[in-house]
Chains A and B, each alone.
Chain A
Amino acid sequence: MEADGSQARMADFLRDHQDKVVGRWIELVVAASRGRTSVEEVRRELADLYSLIVRVMSEADDHAAGELRAALDELSRGRARGGFTPRETALSVFSLKEAVYELVADAAEMVPEFLRFSRLLDDLGLRTFEAYSAAREQIIADQTTAMMELSTPVVRLWDGIIAVPLVGTLDSARTQLVMEKLLETLVATGADHAVIDITGVPTVDTEVAQHLLKTVSAARLLGAECTISGIRPQVAQTIVSLGIEFGDVATKATLADALGAALRHAGLKVVTA
Protein backbone atom coordinates (compact mmCIF):
# COMPACT_ATOMS: atom_id res chain seq x y z
CA MET A 1 0.00 0.00 0.00
CA GLU A 2 1.31 3.48 -0.73
CA ALA A 3 2.16 5.65 2.22
CA ASP A 4 1.71 8.95 0.47
CA GLY A 5 -1.96 8.66 -0.54
CA SER A 6 -1.00 9.60 -4.09
CA GLN A 7 -3.31 6.97 -5.55
CA ALA A 8 -6.29 8.26 -3.63
CA ARG A 9 -5.46 11.82 -4.69
CA MET A 10 -5.31 10.68 -8.30
CA ALA A 11 -8.71 9.05 -7.88
CA ASP A 12 -10.10 12.39 -6.65
CA PHE A 13 -8.49 14.21 -9.55
CA LEU A 14 -10.04 11.79 -12.02
CA ARG A 15 -13.43 12.23 -10.44
CA ASP A 16 -13.23 16.03 -10.47
CA HIS A 17 -12.16 16.21 -14.10
CA GLN A 18 -14.26 13.28 -15.32
CA ASP A 19 -16.11 14.98 -18.18
CA LYS A 20 -13.05 16.59 -19.64
CA VAL A 21 -10.83 13.53 -19.36
CA VAL A 22 -13.42 11.05 -20.64
CA GLY A 23 -14.30 13.38 -23.50
CA ARG A 24 -10.68 13.64 -24.59
CA TRP A 25 -10.19 9.87 -24.11
CA ILE A 26 -13.12 9.13 -26.41
CA GLU A 27 -11.73 11.51 -29.03
CA LEU A 28 -8.37 9.78 -29.03
CA VAL A 29 -9.83 6.26 -29.22
CA VAL A 30 -12.22 7.13 -32.05
CA ALA A 31 -9.37 8.78 -33.95
CA ALA A 32 -7.15 5.72 -33.47
CA SER A 33 -9.81 3.30 -34.74
CA ARG A 34 -10.13 5.31 -37.93
CA GLY A 35 -13.87 5.46 -38.15
CA ARG A 36 -14.64 1.83 -37.44
CA THR A 37 -16.39 2.49 -34.16
CA SER A 38 -19.19 4.89 -33.42
CA VAL A 39 -18.73 7.60 -30.82
CA GLU A 40 -21.73 6.29 -28.90
CA GLU A 41 -20.35 2.76 -28.57
CA VAL A 42 -16.99 4.06 -27.47
CA ARG A 43 -18.57 6.48 -25.01
CA ARG A 44 -20.47 3.66 -23.33
CA GLU A 45 -17.42 1.40 -23.10
CA LEU A 46 -15.05 4.03 -21.83
CA ALA A 47 -17.42 5.66 -19.34
CA ASP A 48 -17.87 2.23 -17.76
CA LEU A 49 -14.11 1.60 -17.66
CA TYR A 50 -13.44 5.04 -16.24
CA SER A 51 -15.69 4.61 -13.26
CA LEU A 52 -14.17 1.16 -12.62
CA ILE A 53 -10.65 2.58 -12.76
CA VAL A 54 -11.58 5.34 -10.32
CA ARG A 55 -13.11 2.80 -7.96
CA VAL A 56 -9.99 0.65 -8.10
CA MET A 57 -7.76 3.63 -7.40
CA SER A 58 -9.80 4.86 -4.46
CA GLU A 59 -9.81 1.29 -3.14
CA ALA A 60 -13.50 1.80 -2.46
CA ASP A 61 -14.43 -1.87 -2.61
CA ASP A 62 -12.99 -5.33 -3.22
CA HIS A 63 -15.05 -6.12 -6.31
CA ALA A 64 -13.82 -3.22 -8.42
CA ALA A 65 -10.54 -4.88 -9.45
CA GLY A 66 -12.29 -8.07 -10.62
CA GLU A 67 -14.96 -6.10 -12.49
CA LEU A 68 -12.32 -3.96 -14.17
CA ARG A 69 -10.44 -7.05 -15.36
CA ALA A 70 -13.64 -8.57 -16.70
CA ALA A 71 -14.61 -5.34 -18.49
CA LEU A 72 -11.18 -5.10 -20.11
CA ASP A 73 -11.29 -8.74 -21.22
CA GLU A 74 -14.70 -8.13 -22.77
CA LEU A 75 -13.44 -5.03 -24.59
CA SER A 76 -10.39 -6.92 -25.90
CA ARG A 77 -12.48 -9.85 -27.11
CA GLY A 78 -14.83 -7.45 -28.88
CA ARG A 79 -11.93 -5.73 -30.61
CA ALA A 80 -10.40 -9.07 -31.59
CA ARG A 81 -13.67 -10.25 -33.11
CA GLY A 82 -14.11 -6.93 -34.85
CA GLY A 83 -10.81 -7.31 -36.66
CA PHE A 84 -9.03 -4.47 -34.89
CA THR A 85 -5.25 -4.64 -34.55
CA PRO A 86 -3.59 -5.38 -31.18
CA ARG A 87 -2.22 -1.81 -31.24
CA GLU A 88 -5.66 -0.28 -31.65
CA THR A 89 -6.93 -2.41 -28.80
CA ALA A 90 -4.13 -1.49 -26.42
CA LEU A 91 -4.50 2.16 -27.41
CA SER A 92 -8.02 2.03 -26.01
CA VAL A 93 -6.34 1.92 -22.61
CA PHE A 94 -3.15 3.88 -23.24
CA SER A 95 -4.96 6.92 -24.66
CA LEU A 96 -6.43 7.49 -21.21
CA LYS A 97 -2.87 8.14 -20.04
CA GLU A 98 -2.51 10.65 -22.86
CA ALA A 99 -5.77 12.36 -21.96
CA VAL A 100 -4.82 12.72 -18.30
CA TYR A 101 -1.26 13.75 -19.12
CA GLU A 102 -2.51 16.67 -21.21
CA LEU A 103 -4.22 18.01 -18.09
CA VAL A 104 -1.43 17.49 -15.56
CA ALA A 105 1.56 18.27 -17.82
CA ASP A 106 2.10 21.62 -16.18
CA ALA A 107 1.32 20.54 -12.62
CA ALA A 108 4.61 19.44 -11.00
CA GLU A 109 2.91 18.46 -7.78
CA MET A 110 0.93 15.79 -9.63
CA VAL A 111 4.03 13.88 -10.81
CA PRO A 112 4.00 11.10 -8.15
CA GLU A 113 0.25 10.67 -8.62
CA PHE A 114 0.60 10.48 -12.35
CA LEU A 115 3.43 7.96 -12.13
CA ARG A 116 1.33 5.55 -10.07
CA PHE A 117 -1.56 6.05 -12.43
CA SER A 118 0.70 5.43 -15.38
CA ARG A 119 1.91 2.16 -13.91
CA LEU A 120 -1.63 0.98 -13.33
CA LEU A 121 -2.58 1.76 -16.92
CA ASP A 122 0.52 0.03 -18.29
CA ASP A 123 -0.59 -3.10 -16.49
CA LEU A 124 -4.14 -2.79 -17.82
CA GLY A 125 -2.86 -2.20 -21.34
CA LEU A 126 -0.78 -5.36 -21.19
CA ARG A 127 -3.80 -7.23 -20.00
CA THR A 128 -5.79 -6.17 -23.06
CA PHE A 129 -3.01 -7.56 -25.21
CA GLU A 130 -3.19 -10.95 -23.51
CA ALA A 131 -6.97 -11.09 -23.72
CA TYR A 132 -6.82 -10.01 -27.36
CA SER A 133 -4.34 -12.79 -28.23
CA ALA A 134 -6.40 -15.41 -26.50
CA ALA A 135 -9.52 -14.24 -28.32
CA ARG A 136 -7.77 -14.32 -31.72
CA GLU A 137 -6.63 -17.88 -31.06
CA GLN A 138 -10.17 -18.89 -30.27
CA ILE A 139 -11.42 -17.29 -33.48
CA ILE A 140 -8.85 -19.18 -35.51
CA ALA A 141 -9.79 -22.41 -33.76
CA ASP A 142 -13.47 -21.80 -34.55
CA GLN A 143 -12.70 -21.07 -38.20
CA THR A 144 -10.63 -24.23 -38.47
CA THR A 145 -13.54 -26.24 -37.14
CA ALA A 146 -15.93 -24.62 -39.60
CA MET A 147 -13.58 -25.38 -42.47
CA MET A 148 -13.22 -28.99 -41.38
CA GLU A 149 -17.00 -29.36 -41.35
CA LEU A 150 -17.17 -28.22 -44.95
CA SER A 151 -14.41 -30.50 -46.15
CA THR A 152 -15.75 -33.72 -44.65
CA PRO A 153 -18.68 -34.88 -46.76
CA VAL A 154 -20.21 -38.33 -46.37
CA VAL A 155 -21.90 -39.59 -49.52
CA ARG A 156 -24.21 -42.46 -50.28
CA LEU A 157 -22.79 -44.62 -53.07
CA TRP A 158 -25.54 -47.19 -53.18
CA ASP A 159 -28.13 -48.81 -50.95
CA GLY A 160 -26.30 -49.70 -47.81
CA ILE A 161 -22.95 -48.34 -49.00
CA ILE A 162 -21.58 -44.93 -48.03
CA ALA A 163 -18.26 -43.26 -48.75
CA VAL A 164 -16.13 -40.74 -46.90
CA PRO A 165 -13.65 -39.09 -49.29
CA LEU A 166 -10.99 -37.53 -47.08
CA VAL A 167 -9.03 -34.59 -48.44
CA GLY A 168 -6.19 -33.10 -46.43
CA THR A 169 -4.45 -34.12 -43.26
CA LEU A 170 -6.13 -36.39 -40.76
CA ASP A 171 -5.35 -35.13 -37.26
CA SER A 172 -7.19 -36.06 -34.07
CA ALA A 173 -9.62 -33.12 -34.30
CA ARG A 174 -10.54 -34.04 -37.87
CA THR A 175 -10.86 -37.70 -36.92
CA GLN A 176 -13.43 -36.81 -34.26
CA LEU A 177 -15.45 -34.96 -36.87
CA VAL A 178 -15.14 -37.77 -39.41
CA MET A 179 -16.28 -40.32 -36.85
CA GLU A 180 -19.28 -38.22 -35.85
CA LYS A 181 -20.42 -37.62 -39.41
CA LEU A 182 -19.76 -41.17 -40.52
CA LEU A 183 -21.69 -42.70 -37.62
CA GLU A 184 -24.59 -40.27 -37.94
CA THR A 185 -24.85 -41.12 -41.63
CA LEU A 186 -24.77 -44.85 -40.86
CA VAL A 187 -27.72 -44.40 -38.53
CA ALA A 188 -29.59 -42.13 -40.95
CA THR A 189 -29.14 -44.34 -44.03
CA GLY A 190 -29.05 -47.76 -42.33
CA ALA A 191 -25.91 -48.49 -44.31
CA ASP A 192 -23.78 -51.47 -43.38
CA HIS A 193 -20.74 -50.68 -45.45
CA ALA A 194 -18.49 -47.60 -45.40
CA VAL A 195 -15.62 -46.84 -47.72
CA ILE A 196 -13.05 -44.43 -46.37
CA ASP A 197 -11.10 -43.02 -49.30
CA ILE A 198 -7.71 -41.58 -48.50
CA THR A 199 -6.54 -40.61 -51.99
CA GLY A 200 -6.54 -36.99 -50.86
CA VAL A 201 -4.61 -37.58 -47.64
CA PRO A 202 -1.02 -36.51 -48.38
CA THR A 203 0.85 -38.50 -45.73
CA VAL A 204 -0.09 -41.71 -44.03
CA ASP A 205 2.08 -42.27 -40.99
CA THR A 206 1.54 -44.26 -37.80
CA GLU A 207 -0.64 -41.53 -36.30
CA VAL A 208 -2.90 -41.27 -39.35
CA ALA A 209 -3.17 -45.06 -39.48
CA GLN A 210 -4.25 -45.09 -35.83
CA HIS A 211 -6.92 -42.48 -36.56
CA LEU A 212 -8.19 -44.56 -39.47
CA LEU A 213 -8.33 -47.70 -37.36
CA LYS A 214 -10.19 -45.80 -34.62
CA THR A 215 -12.74 -44.71 -37.16
CA VAL A 216 -13.17 -48.26 -38.44
CA SER A 217 -13.54 -49.48 -34.86
CA ALA A 218 -16.31 -46.98 -34.16
CA ALA A 219 -18.18 -47.85 -37.37
CA ARG A 220 -18.00 -51.55 -36.50
CA LEU A 221 -19.71 -50.85 -33.18
CA LEU A 222 -22.67 -49.76 -35.28
CA GLY A 223 -22.54 -52.97 -37.25
CA ALA A 224 -20.91 -51.52 -40.36
CA GLU A 225 -17.93 -52.95 -42.14
CA CYS A 226 -15.29 -50.60 -43.53
CA THR A 227 -12.90 -50.62 -46.43
CA ILE A 228 -10.05 -48.17 -46.77
CA SER A 229 -9.47 -47.20 -50.38
CA GLY A 230 -7.15 -44.85 -52.20
CA ILE A 231 -3.89 -46.46 -51.18
CA ARG A 232 -1.36 -44.97 -53.57
CA PRO A 233 1.80 -46.99 -54.36
CA GLN A 234 4.13 -44.68 -52.39
CA VAL A 235 1.71 -44.74 -49.46
CA ALA A 236 1.66 -48.54 -49.56
CA GLN A 237 5.45 -48.60 -49.35
CA THR A 238 5.47 -46.13 -46.45
CA ILE A 239 2.88 -48.15 -44.56
CA VAL A 240 4.87 -51.36 -44.92
CA SER A 241 8.21 -49.77 -44.05
CA LEU A 242 6.69 -48.18 -40.93
CA GLY A 243 5.39 -51.59 -39.95
CA ILE A 244 1.80 -50.39 -39.80
CA GLU A 245 -0.70 -53.24 -39.67
CA PHE A 246 -4.24 -52.72 -40.85
CA GLY A 247 -5.13 -56.09 -39.40
CA ASP A 248 -8.47 -57.33 -40.58
CA VAL A 249 -9.49 -54.09 -42.25
CA ALA A 250 -9.82 -54.46 -46.00
CA THR A 251 -7.84 -52.02 -48.11
CA LYS A 252 -8.11 -51.30 -51.83
CA ALA A 253 -6.23 -49.18 -54.32
CA THR A 254 -9.20 -47.18 -55.56
CA LEU A 255 -12.71 -46.16 -54.53
CA ALA A 256 -13.99 -48.06 -57.57
CA ASP A 257 -12.34 -51.27 -56.38
CA ALA A 258 -13.85 -50.78 -52.94
CA LEU A 259 -17.31 -50.17 -54.39
CA GLY A 260 -17.01 -53.31 -56.48
CA ALA A 261 -16.03 -55.38 -53.45
CA ALA A 262 -18.84 -53.91 -51.34
CA LEU A 263 -21.43 -54.67 -54.03
CA ARG A 264 -20.19 -58.24 -54.33
CA HIS A 265 -20.32 -58.59 -50.58
CA ALA A 266 -23.93 -57.43 -50.66
CA GLY A 267 -24.67 -60.10 -53.23
CA LEU A 268 -25.14 -57.60 -56.05
CA LYS A 269 -23.80 -57.86 -59.55
CA VAL A 270 -23.39 -55.19 -62.23
CA VAL A 271 -24.39 -56.43 -65.71
CA THR A 272 -24.60 -54.83 -69.11
CA ALA A 273 -28.13 -53.88 -70.07
Chain B
Amino acid sequence: MDELPIQSGDDVVRVRQLVRVIAAKNGLSLVEQTKLVTAASELARNTLVHGGGGVARVEVVTSPNGRTGVKLHFTDEGPGIPDIDLALTDGWTSGTGLGLGLSGSRRLVDEFELDSKPGAGTTVVVVKWSR
Protein backbone atom coordinates (compact mmCIF):
# COMPACT_ATOMS: atom_id res chain seq x y z
CA MET B 1 0.00 0.00 0.00
CA ASP B 2 1.39 3.38 -1.03
CA GLU B 3 0.84 6.42 1.13
CA LEU B 4 1.08 10.11 0.20
CA PRO B 5 0.58 13.20 2.34
CA ILE B 6 -1.88 15.83 1.09
CA GLN B 7 -0.68 19.18 2.33
CA SER B 8 -0.42 21.28 -0.83
CA GLY B 9 -1.64 21.69 -4.39
CA ASP B 10 1.49 19.91 -5.60
CA ASP B 11 0.55 16.95 -3.41
CA VAL B 12 -2.80 16.72 -5.19
CA VAL B 13 -0.93 16.48 -8.49
CA ARG B 14 1.32 13.79 -7.02
CA VAL B 15 -1.68 11.78 -5.88
CA ARG B 16 -3.13 11.94 -9.42
CA GLN B 17 0.11 10.73 -10.92
CA LEU B 18 0.52 7.88 -8.46
CA VAL B 19 -3.05 6.68 -8.97
CA ARG B 20 -2.58 6.87 -12.75
CA VAL B 21 0.54 4.72 -12.64
CA ILE B 22 -0.98 2.09 -10.37
CA ALA B 23 -4.27 1.98 -12.27
CA ALA B 24 -2.46 1.54 -15.59
CA LYS B 25 -0.26 -1.21 -14.18
CA ASN B 26 -3.23 -3.16 -12.89
CA GLY B 27 -5.39 -3.66 -15.93
CA LEU B 28 -7.80 -0.74 -15.81
CA SER B 29 -8.80 0.53 -19.26
CA LEU B 30 -7.97 4.08 -20.29
CA VAL B 31 -11.46 5.34 -19.51
CA GLU B 32 -11.47 3.52 -16.17
CA GLN B 33 -8.09 5.05 -15.32
CA THR B 34 -9.28 8.52 -16.24
CA LYS B 35 -12.40 8.17 -14.10
CA LEU B 36 -10.44 6.90 -11.12
CA VAL B 37 -7.74 9.57 -11.35
CA THR B 38 -10.40 12.27 -11.72
CA ALA B 39 -12.20 10.95 -8.62
CA ALA B 40 -8.85 10.89 -6.79
CA SER B 41 -8.25 14.50 -7.81
CA GLU B 42 -11.67 15.55 -6.43
CA LEU B 43 -11.22 13.66 -3.19
CA ALA B 44 -7.63 14.77 -2.65
CA ARG B 45 -8.65 18.35 -3.18
CA ASN B 46 -11.48 17.97 -0.66
CA THR B 47 -9.03 16.57 1.84
CA LEU B 48 -6.79 19.57 1.31
CA VAL B 49 -9.33 22.35 1.07
CA HIS B 50 -12.07 21.19 3.43
CA GLY B 51 -10.20 18.75 5.62
CA GLY B 52 -7.20 20.95 6.31
CA GLY B 53 -4.83 18.42 4.82
CA GLY B 54 -4.56 14.67 5.28
CA VAL B 55 -3.33 11.44 3.78
CA ALA B 56 -4.03 9.39 0.65
CA ARG B 57 -3.44 5.62 0.48
CA VAL B 58 -3.45 3.55 -2.68
CA GLU B 59 -3.64 -0.25 -2.74
CA VAL B 60 -4.27 -3.00 -5.25
CA VAL B 61 -7.06 -5.41 -4.34
CA THR B 62 -8.49 -8.66 -5.74
CA SER B 63 -12.16 -9.60 -5.86
CA PRO B 64 -13.41 -13.11 -4.96
CA ASN B 65 -13.76 -13.98 -8.64
CA GLY B 66 -10.24 -12.95 -9.49
CA ARG B 67 -10.64 -9.40 -10.82
CA THR B 68 -8.05 -6.79 -9.95
CA GLY B 69 -9.03 -3.42 -8.58
CA VAL B 70 -7.51 -0.26 -7.16
CA LYS B 71 -8.62 0.96 -3.74
CA LEU B 72 -8.09 4.55 -2.57
CA HIS B 73 -8.37 5.88 0.98
CA PHE B 74 -8.55 9.60 1.77
CA THR B 75 -8.36 10.60 5.42
CA ASP B 76 -8.32 13.95 7.16
CA GLU B 77 -8.74 15.23 10.72
CA GLY B 78 -10.78 18.23 9.64
CA PRO B 79 -14.17 19.57 10.72
CA GLY B 80 -16.10 16.69 9.19
CA ILE B 81 -19.29 16.83 7.14
CA PRO B 82 -22.40 17.77 9.12
CA ASP B 83 -25.01 16.40 6.72
CA ILE B 84 -23.72 13.54 4.60
CA ASP B 85 -26.92 12.99 2.63
CA LEU B 86 -26.96 16.62 1.64
CA ALA B 87 -23.30 16.54 0.69
CA LEU B 88 -23.92 13.62 -1.61
CA THR B 89 -26.72 15.41 -3.45
CA ASP B 90 -25.78 16.85 -6.79
CA GLY B 91 -25.09 20.53 -6.79
CA TRP B 92 -24.51 20.98 -3.07
CA THR B 93 -21.84 23.52 -2.36
CA SER B 94 -20.09 24.42 0.85
CA GLY B 95 -19.51 28.00 1.97
CA THR B 96 -16.67 28.79 -0.40
CA GLY B 97 -18.92 28.30 -3.40
CA LEU B 98 -16.97 25.30 -4.61
CA GLY B 99 -18.85 22.02 -4.62
CA LEU B 100 -17.44 19.15 -2.65
CA GLY B 101 -17.29 16.98 -5.74
CA LEU B 102 -18.41 14.02 -3.65
CA SER B 103 -21.52 13.11 -5.59
CA GLY B 104 -19.56 13.39 -8.82
CA SER B 105 -16.72 11.16 -7.66
CA ARG B 106 -19.22 8.59 -6.47
CA ARG B 107 -20.46 8.15 -10.03
CA LEU B 108 -16.93 7.63 -11.30
CA VAL B 109 -16.11 4.64 -9.10
CA ASP B 110 -17.58 1.18 -8.43
CA GLU B 111 -17.56 1.29 -4.63
CA PHE B 112 -17.80 4.36 -2.43
CA GLU B 113 -17.74 4.62 1.37
CA LEU B 114 -17.86 7.86 3.33
CA ASP B 115 -17.32 8.14 7.05
CA SER B 116 -17.53 11.55 8.65
CA LYS B 117 -18.60 13.12 11.91
CA PRO B 118 -18.51 16.81 12.75
CA GLY B 119 -15.32 17.42 14.69
CA ALA B 120 -13.97 13.94 14.00
CA GLY B 121 -12.55 14.15 10.50
CA THR B 122 -13.51 12.41 7.29
CA THR B 123 -12.51 9.18 5.57
CA VAL B 124 -13.50 8.31 2.02
CA VAL B 125 -12.70 4.89 0.54
CA VAL B 126 -13.32 4.12 -3.13
CA VAL B 127 -12.66 1.12 -5.37
CA LYS B 128 -12.50 0.82 -9.15
CA TRP B 129 -12.44 -2.67 -10.66
CA SER B 130 -10.97 -3.68 -13.96
CA ARG B 131 -13.38 -5.42 -16.34
Assess A/B contact in the complex (Cβ within 8 A): yes
Mark A residues whose CB is within 8 Å of B: 73, 77, 130-131, 134-135, 137-138, 141-142, 145, 176, 180
CB pairs A–B below 8 angstroms (20 shown): A73-B66, A77-B65, A77-B66, A130-B64, A131-B64, A131-B65, A134-B64, A134-B65, A134-B66, A135-B65, A135-B66, A137-B65, A138-B65, A138-B66, A138-B67, A141-B131, A142-B131, A145-B131, A176-B31, A180-B31
Closest-by-CB residue of B relative to A74 is B66
Additional A-B contact list (7), CB under 8 Å, known A77-B65, A131-B65, A138-B66: A73-B66, A130-B64, A131-B64, A134-B65, A134-B66, A137-B65, A176-B31
Instruction: Write the nearest CB–CB distance from B34 to chain A, whole angstroms.
Output: 11
Can you name the residue of chain A whose Cβ is closest to the Cβ of B67?
A138
CB neighbours of A131 from chain B (8 A): 64-65
Smallest CB-CB separation from B131: which chain A residue? A145
For the complex, what is the distance from the CA of A142 to the CA of B65, rounded to whole Å?
Answer: 13
Q: Chain B interface residue count: which class? A: under 10
For the complex, give the distance between the alpha carbons of A138 and B131 in Å.
9
Q: Which 10 A-B pairs have the closest CB atoms?
A: A134-B65, A138-B65, A134-B64, A135-B65, A180-B31, A77-B66, A137-B65, A145-B131, A138-B66, A138-B67
User: Using Cβ atoms and an 8 Å threshold, which residues of chain B touch A135?
Assistant: 65-66
For the complex formed, measure the closest distance between the CB of A77 and the CB atoms of chain B, giving whole angstroms. 6
CA distance A130 to B64 in the complex (A): 9
How far is B63's CA from A137's CA once the two chains are assembled, in angstroms? 13
In the assembled complex, which residues on chain B have CB atoms less than 8 Å from the CB atom of A141? 131
Give A142 to B66 CA distance when docked, in angstroms. 13
Closest to A130 in B: B64
Q: How far is the CB of B131 from chain A (nearest CB, A)?
A: 7
Nearest A residue to B65, CB-CB: A134
Complex alpha-carbon distance, A130 and B65, angstroms: 9
